[in-house]
Structure 1
Amino acid sequence: MSMASERANKSGFAAEAQRKINSKYDPGLAQEALEWVNKLTSKVPNTSGDQENFYEVLKDGVILCELANAIEAGSVKKIQQSKMAFKCMENINMFLEAARKFGVPAEETFQTVDLWEKQNLSSVVNCLHSLGRKMGKYGKPGIGPKEADKNVREFTDEQLKAGQSVISLQYGSNKGANQSGVNFGNSRHM
């Protein structure tokens, strides 16, 4: 039994904020993420993107840790098989550390309670998609668009100096400009 089921229902501003967070959850993206996790681990029993199923599959963190180990062996040293809250949250935290090591930026990860207490499952989906985009570096199948590689360009001093003498079209052009037809204000009445 998770902490989320033992809490009182939210009300007022907290309930409104939770409804807004829940509205960002996309079952299609969640299903795509679970299918990708299953492709790498073969451990996901049900890849439905339904919010309840997504939570049930990932809440103890075991599959997330196995995902990290499928990407790079030994990423998570010891996966806790216990259903105790502390052990499950430890699994989730170890996955998050591995995800950061794989290159997922901090703003695309989630807090442990977002998953454990079912507070923000859309951020969990976003984290999995972010991790999936990084898989090109690890030779694993990914999800979503492929991340761009650096395209560093080197210019010689001669090329840089040549660029300084060109007037950019952003400055506009005065070709064909004159003041014919320009009149301001009221015309002279006779």
Structure 2
Amino acid sequence: MATHRATKSGFAAEAQRKINAKYSEELAQEVLEWVKILTGDNINVAGDMDNFYEVLKDGTLLCRLVNEIQPGIVKKINTSSMAFKCMENINAFLEAARQLGVPAQETFQTVDLWERQNLNSVVICLQSLGRKAGNYGKPSIGPKEAEKNERHFSEEKLKAGSTIIGLQMGSNKGANQSGINFGNTRHM
């Protein structure tokens, strides 16, 4: 829980303020409403950080959520409120989320939720899981995932492109080395 850490000060406090500033109450509320629909649990769907943390901190609701998307993906859900059991639940959820297709860069670390370090990353992970839920016939949230848009170019088109020098590569028009005095010092 968040009470295990000392109060941050200085640079650490400033960094934590920046992390907390990224948190969106609207997205958190959307996520909690989606979780409520899928699990059928009567949870408070207010999007403020305190409620979001309290609803999800022990990981049991997260495990039930992924089991609703794909039954049996989390074998054992710990009901104990002991710290390591709760963190096991959160880890089981994260592993299940990866198996369901959530990219690694959109997941969070256990301490982000358990110690309330970065609740925004938890929201991002649940939003990503919400997009993936549609692939399993469940209600989804957020924008629809993009589909593959493969392009095929003819040999002629590819050869034509190799003759063009883009401006990203820079230009040396008018460049010379006049005025550069390597090794020649200024005499007084």
Counterpart check, 1:82 vs 2:84 = no
CA shift, 1:7, in A, is 2.5
When residues 54 and 44 of structure 1 are mapped into structure 2, their CA distance, relative to the original with a 3 A threshold, is farther
When residues 165 and 79 of structure 1 are mapped into structure 2, their CA distance, relative to the original with a 3 A threshold, is closer
Q: Deviations over 1:64-101 (max 9, x none)?
A: 00001000000100000000000000000000000001
When normalised by structure 1's length, the TM-score is 0.80
Counterpart check, 1:96 vs 2:113 = no
Using the aligned pairs only, state the percent identity. 67
Q: Map 1:11-160 to 2 at 5 A.
A: 11-152=9-150, 160=154
CA shift, 1:153, in A, is 5.1
CA shift, 1:45, in A, is 1.5
Count residues in correspondence: 165
CA shift, 1:48, in A, is 0.5
When residues 86 and 152 of structure 1 are mapped into structure 2, their CA distance, relative to the original with a 3 A threshold, is same
CA shift, 1:136, in A, is 2.3
CA shift, 1:43, in A, is 1.6
Aligned residue type for 2:50: E
Q: Deviations over 1:80-133 (max 9, x none)?
A: 000000000000000000000111111100000000000000000000001111
CA shift, 1:5, in A, is 1.5
When residues 163 and 110 of structure 1 are mapped into structure 2, their CA distance, relative to the original with a 3 A threshold, is same
CA shift, 1:44, in A, is 4.5
Unaligned runs of 5+ in 2: 166-188
- SS in structure 1 at match of 2:92: helix
Give the Cα–Cα distance (whole angstroms) in 2 for the partners of residues 123 and 7 of structure 1: 19
CA shift, 1:151, in A, is 3.2
RMSD: 2.1
Aligned residue type for 1:75: I
Unaligned runs of 5+ in 1: 172-190
Aligned residue type for 1:88: C
Give the Cα–Cα distance (whole angstroms) in 2 for the partners of residues 151 and 20 of structure 1: 36
Range with greater deviation from structure 2 (136-145 or 63-72):
136-145
Give the Cα–Cα distance (whole angstroms) in 2 for the partners of residues 12 and 109 of structure 1: 28
CA shift, 1:148, in A, is 1.4
